[in-house]
Amino acid sequence: MTLKDFVKIWPVLKKEVRSLRLPWIDQMTISKRDPFKVLISCLLSLRTQDKVTAGASQRLFYLAQTPKALSGLSVRRIEKAIYPVGFYRVKARRIKKISDVIIKKYDGRVPHSIEELLTLEGVGRKTANLVVTRGYDQAGICVDTHVHRITNRWGFIKTRTPHQTEFALREILPVRYWKELNGHLVAFGQGICKPISPLCSKCKINPFCAKVGITHHR
Ligand code: SF4
């Protein structure tokens, strides 16, 4: 797939994902952008299914919605609220610690640069880019497993890791596509271009897709 093809499939992709379920963090930021909630939900989502993340986030935000309020909760209370997300004990400790750092070092505001976000414990490039794009509505490319898998299947890029994918996309993709790419490809990856046996026969992007590495499809 060339950039010219990408420009052609973008409106098709946008239309396609309208009928699919939006990822939790996209749903959460439709009415109001809150960088702190994006940060915490993204940390909860690591190695966890989207619907489990959604439930855990809602229970936790019912108890506390700001770094100050969250910092005032005990680790045990956070653990109980976020269970059964993966590694809930580690995540509970981390969330409390990050809330403390945001209060002490950043005066209660989540930093908005990728470099500063990366200094927070447990925050990698995926989370940092998501806070920048969904929390602050600024340019970034959040690459998760779906973005990495699908852009490689298309033959749009050829990379081995999500880290390489982010930088390859930053090179070739015009900035106007960056912010929405993650939300669209997460929905598309969960509904159509699934990790195992993608639904190629139903896929509107099929004529443009190189299907790199696809051995089984429906
Ligand atoms: S044709 Fe198949 S592999 Fe290509 S984007 Fe569509 S579902 Fe994914």
Q: Where are the domains of the chain?
A: 3-21+141-208, 34-135
The string of pLDDT tens digits covering residues 145-157 is 999 999 999 999 9
Residue type, 3: L
Residue ID of nearest Cα to ligand 1 atom 2? 200
Within the chain, what is the greatest distance between any pair of CA atoms? 54
Q: How far apart are CA 9 and CA 202, in angstroms?
A: 15
Residue labelled with tokens 């090179």: 171
CA 186/CA 147 separation, integer angstroms: 7
Distance from the alpha carbon of residue 13 to the mean position of ligand 1, in angstroms = 11
**Does the domain spanning 3-21+141-208 belong to CATH 3.40.190.10?**
no
Query: In degrees, to the nearest 5, what angle opens at C-alpha 109 toward C-alphas 68 and 38?
Result: 85
pTM equals 0.91
Q: Pick the residue whose CA is nearest to atom 3 on ligand 1.
A: 211
Ligand 1: lining residues by beta carbon, under 6 Å: 153, 192-193, 198-200, 203, 205-206, 209, 211, 214, 217
Pocket test for ligand 1, best of 206, 212, 214, 215 (most atoms within 8 A of CB): 206
Flag whether pLDDT at 29 surpasses 90: no
In this structure, which topology does domain 34-135 adopt according to CATH?
A: Endonuclease III; domain 1 (1.10.340)
pLDDT tens for 166-208 read 999 999 999 999 999 999 999 999 999 999 999 999 999 999 9
Average pLDDT of the segment spanning 89-105: 97
